[in-house]
Amino acid sequence: MTAPSLFDTNKRRKAELPAATGPASGLFASIVFDRPLDTEYTYAIPTDLVAKIGVGKRVEAPFGKGGKTTIGFCVRVTDQVPTTSFEIKSLVRVVDEDAIIDDHLMKLTRWIADYYLCGWGQVLHAVVPAGVRENAGTRVAAFVEPVAKDKLPNPLPSVSPQQKAALDKLKKEGRPLEILQLARIAKCTTGIISGLVKKGLLRKFSERIETDAAKPDTDGEVPVPSAPIELNGDQLRVWEQIRAALHSEGGYKPFLLHGVTGSGKTEVYLRAIEETVKQGKEAIVLVPEISLTPQTLARFSGRCGNVAVLHSHLTDAERGGYWRRVATGHVQVVVGARSAVFAPTRKLGLIVIDEEHENSFKQEATPRYHARDVAVMRARLEGIPILMGSATPSLESWSNAARGNYTLLSMPNRVESRPMPAVKIIDLRNEPKPSGKHFAIGSTLEAAMRDTLKAKGQIILLLNRRGFSTHVHCQACGHVAQCTNCDLALTFHRSKAALVCHFCGFETAPFQKCPSCTQPGMRYQGIGTEKLHTEIEEKFPGYVTQRMDSDTMSKPGSHQRVLDAFRDGLVHILVGTQMIAKGLDFPNVTLVGVVNADVGLHLPDFRSAERTFQILAQVAGRAGRGDKGGNVLVQTFTPEHPCITLAANHDYVTFAGQELSHRKEHQYPPFHRMARLIVRSEKEEAAAQFAETLANAFNEATKRALGANPTPTNANPVRILGPAECPVFRLNNFYRFHFQVQSADSGVLHSVLRDVLAIAKPPSGVEFQVDIDPFSML
């Protein structure tokens, strides 16, 4: 039978499959698969699986035209006989002994599938780590235990001295032992133990256990307990409201904590987590991946009991081990990036989101969820408080607080009454051109760096572009070196001696002559962190400079080694991309320099000004955290831009007000909900034709949404922009067209999308993606 579309308007309808042989129990299971289908498939439960089946367990079932055995998730068990002319196939096997998804996560994943327009099975598959799905870090071991007295054979069989010694050793242990372990303790062969099993004196059974591979490597580090810090007035005022929510019976309570950099937000998080753990509950803490620094994690481990840390460097076995320990209640606090929002806690009492504005909380692959929004929904479903903190909250969260959906908590001052760092804007249009072949650092910034180093201070320099030269072109014909797979300029990486595409990973050797006109003299222009590092070493010999970007921080432990050296004063200048802009607290940093504040400001993205303000405010906050104070120098070609001037004044409230006014005028989030649809194909014409098909379907769906007689109250409920070529038209050999669909009503937006995508079927060789609340507009 033909599988129904994900976007059928009759949501969550069930599908039946032709019959299979086997005894039935009269019970039926609804199964979803890792497919882009919003369909629950009904299967009969064989009698021998009745005791094993359950919601949240994986099963094997025949699926598709060939009836191939496929793993899916059981989402419902019922004794109601389906009304269908088809006979029902039977389940083949139940994969899991225990449910790996509990009722809370079942409800949450159902909401994700509905809101983000993807298959429920796709969401469930993504929620469960590969290490859990594949039982990584576990093995099946054979155990033995003494047979109960009332079940011993009569008369008792005779045993050899070796068998008696093994039996006595096992009884002395008072617990089941692995056969190999007992043989080692009793100093006998496994054959001796097998003989005891055959004589009915020992019971043999199998059990899945964890291996050493499932235990994360902590490099021998032991968390050092730390005492709570005495709260200041701002912290106390905020903490009292949070503590009241933790002790109330009211349940769901969302807080937005707006605290300037250095205001002590982390201490408030720790107090809330400690209070939650005291109540016998668990907490989930979401932080951006780049903020998972050893410095941050040590604070949680030292204060919050058993902490599970989920990050990208974990192996499947380690991640699976953490999941199992959380699910069995052996972990009180889960700290991790966006996927930690799905931690299988048994009694969740609090969710904390640090740097809630961070783009990395948005997943760019199916399911395209935003961890912050999923966390808010999880808190709502489980009836618990959620605390979201940032010095530069997202405009969506700020708007929610303004409308009363969140409780706004404010911490406008730094701890110990330390002043915010003084910020000076340097207009690069009027800055004298530096001497020499490098010119990333202007004369004003260079002089400030020399003064800082002379005073024994440390320096952080931000440049959010990696590589050596960001573009390469021919001086004769103007040809620009581009990726063969993408409409993107290649970046020269000197350490690799290669031109690299930062999207698809394509690499090629540097050109000796122009591939277009064959003339020599290719010019390498633009500045990345690698070139900046070189310039600093040439201008500041005798001082140690380290670079932190995804090129240098790819190995486990590299992040920690550099930060430890910087903390110990062994590194004087730290250069990096946005990974150095947040989460770092070094009192001796007295100068922060932004090499080019315009990076990312002029992209075709309605969030570009917001992102620029956020990164400038965050990196400026690294300065002045100690008694020496600090200064920030911002180099820019657009010093008059509001996001730069207001960031220099540490004035988030004014920036938010101006930017929200601009968004409202142009019907952008948070005032209108948005979806982005991307049509892509390796054939440009095929992608263009299907984009036009979608455009026609949108026109018809919009007319239906308006109704037969539009009135001023329901006119233009949906705004459609497109189809148009994506700003980056070709990526990874796919030609791409996109739509923006906007509406003030989320329900109307989803209704139109489901209506369109139920009837618009892409032809072979054409794909489309649906992204609700998109963050990437390129």
Q: What is the pLDDT of residues 199-217, one digit of tens each?
A: 999 999 988 888 776 666 5
Give the rounded percent of residues in the chain with a pLDDT score beyond 70.
92
HSE (side-chain half, CA atoms, 13 Å) at 95: 18
Is the link from the previous residue into 723 a cis peptide, with omega within 30 of 0? yes
Q: What is the pLDDT of residue 224?
A: 56
Report the amino acid identity of residue 723.
P
690: helix, strand or coil: helix
Backbone dihedral angles phi then psi of residue 367, each to the nearest 5 degrees: -80, 135
Q: What is the pLDDT of residue 225?
A: 61
Q: What is the pLDDT of residue 351?
A: 98
Task: List the one residue out of 366, 370, 286, 361 whose CA is nearest residue 773.
Answer: 370
Write 149-152 long-range contacts (CB < 8 A, 24+). 152/200, 152/201
3-state helix, strand, coil in the chain (%, to 5): 35, 25, 40
CA end-to-end distance (rounded Å), the chain: 38
Task: List the one residue out of 74, 71, 52 whose CA is nearest residue 63.
Answer: 71
CB 753 within 8 A of CB 117: yes
Q: What is the pLDDT of residue 123?
A: 97
Radius of gyration of the chain (CA): 30
- Looking at the DSSP assignment, which residues form a beta bridge with residue 605? none
Report the amino acid identity of residue 623.
A
Buried b (16+ CB within 10 A) or exposed e, 638-675: bbebebbbbbbebbbeebbeebbeebeeeebbbebbbb
> What length does the chain have?
778
The CA–CA distances, whole Å, from 680 to 261, 667, 684, 703, 725 equal 42, 26, 8, 26, 10
Backbone dihedral angles phi then psi of residue 548, each to the nearest 5 degrees: -125, 105
Pairwise CA distance, residues 324 & 345, whole Å: 10
pLDDT tens by residue, 211-243: 776 666 554 444 556 677 889 999 999 999 999
Task: List the one residue out of 569, 459, 572, 474 whose CA is nearest residue 518.
Answer: 474
- Looking at the DSSP assignment, which residues form a beta bridge with residue 591? 459, 631
- Mean pLDDT to the nearest integer, 81-95: 85
CB 694 within 8 A of CB 753: no
pLDDT tens by residue, 44-77: 999 999 999 999 999 999 998 888 999 999 999 9
Q: How confident is the model at residue 14 (pLDDT cuts 50, 70, 90)?
A: very low
Q: What is the pLDDT of residue 294?
A: 64
Which residue bears the tokens 């989030």?
Answer: 669
What does the block give as tokens for 709? Answer: 């007689």
Report the amino acid identity of residue 13.
R
Pairwise CA distance, residues 547 & 327, whole Å: 39
Backbone dihedral angles phi then psi of residue 305, each to the nearest 5 degrees: 75, -145
Q: What is the pLDDT of residue 560?
A: 81
The answer on pLDDT for 295 being more than 80 is no
pLDDT tens by residue, 160-193: 999 999 999 999 999 999 999 999 999 999 999 9
247: helix, strand or coil: helix
What does the block give as tokens for 642? Answer: 């509001």
The strand pair at 573-576 and 422-427 is best described as unpaired
Pairwise CA distance, residues 154 & 182, whole Å: 25
pLDDT tens by residue, 525-536: 889 999 999 999
Residue 435 neighbours by CB distance under 10 Å:
8
Angle at 12 between CA 9 and CA 15, to 5 degrees: 105
Q: What is the pLDDT of residue 313?
A: 76
Pairwise CA distance, residues 410 & 402, whole Å: 13
715 Cβ contact list (under 8 Å, min separation 6) = 706
Burial of 289 (0-12, 13-18, 19+ CB in 10 A): middle
**Lowest mean pLDDT: which of 103-117, 388-402, 522-536, 700-714?**
700-714
Q: Is 463 left (phi over 0), alpha (psi -120 to 50) or beta?
A: beta
Computed over every residue of the chain, the mean pLDDT equals 89
Burial of 219 (0-12, 13-18, 19+ CB in 10 A): exposed
CB 559 within 8 A of CB 429: no
CB 648 within 8 A of CB 634: yes
The answer on pLDDT for 707 being more than 70 is no
Q: What is the pLDDT of residue 214?
A: 61
Pairwise CA distance, residues 651 & 413, whole Å: 13
- Mean pLDDT to the nearest integer, 498-516: 91
Question: Measured in whole angstroms, how far is the alpha carbon of residue 591 from the centre of its chain?
Answer: 31
Pairwise CA distance, residues 673 & 743, whole Å: 5
Pairwise CA distance, residues 23 & 10, whole Å: 32
Alpha helices in 202-264, H assignment, sequence order: 233-247
- Mean pLDDT to the nearest integer, 504-533: 90
